[in-house]
Amino acid sequence: MVSTIMALLAWALDPAVLFPGALLLGVALLWTEWARTGRWIASLAGLSLAVVAVLPVSAWMVTILEDRFPMPPPPQHVDGIIVLGGSVTPGISEARGMATVNENADRLIAFVRLARLYPGSRLVFTGGGKPAQRGRATEAELSGRILDGLGLQADRVTFENRSTSTYENAIFTRDLVHPRADETWLLVTSAWHMPRAVGSFESAGWPVVPYPVGYTTTGGLGWSLGFEPVRHLAELRRALHEWVGLVVYRLRGQTHTLFPAAE
């Protein structure tokens, strides 16, 4: 039930649904006895869309997430490296007959580089996801093919292939590898996703060293004007997904704080 509510909330807050939906509702109400309400709804939706298209509001929302955990200096010793899934698209991969990466591919690239930098470390990929269709490859299987193609032998990597959320990444991986309290583990994921990821692992009783990758902003809350509705809406979608996720995870007790930060 909770998962269904979260899915509906994420869908309703998707800018690609929210703004057009509000505009259509407002226009539809213009032809009813609630025409005044319709004008207000349509006007607010149009004004909000214009603000997002012109002002760097979406970039600010992403930047705050990406700046939360600075890149740490390379540790002298690393016992293990964890990379979160989300870098491949199972449906397209199966349709095209080859593992296909998406905009989060930096996670796998950094994972391979760190594996070479720390050759004695344990390597873990976490993210099973659901296959596009029954009998087809999962995200973990597809990612194994990509890692092998990048020169990292898949048999060196432990694959956690059951998790379908960031919190499950933390819980299932912890139960799989049984980390000790004195061990140093790097956590690799996109910078904008790092606050929720670190919060989940800390909630699971597993302190990790964040290793953010895949930055999408230049950092800092700079000011600029420009009509870029497509890019800004894509940024807003990513930002809202993470900010809503942080709130939901806190309410569900899956993080200890609303906005986890570096110690």
pLDDT digits (tens, 9 = 90+) for 152-169: 988 899 999 999 899 999
Number of separate helices (H) and strands (E) present in the chain: 10, 5
- HSE on the CB side for 159, CA within 13 Å? 18
pLDDT score of 63: 96
In whole angstroms, give the CA distance from residue 231 to residue 15: 12
pLDDT score of 137: 81
Task: Specify the DSSP element, H or E, that contains 203.
Answer: helix 194-203
pLDDT score of 167: 95
pLDDT score of 5: 61
pLDDT digits (tens, 9 = 90+) for 5-48: 666 767 777 887 888 888 898 899 999 999 999 999 999 988 98
Low-confidence ranges of the chain (pLDDT < 70): 1-7, 9, 129-135
In whole angstroms, give the CA distance from residue 123 to residue 17: 39
Apex 162 CA angle, 142 and 126, nearest 5: 60
Q: Domain 80-213 class?
A: alpha beta
DSSP state of 50: H
The CATH 3.40.50.620 portion of the chain extends over 80-213
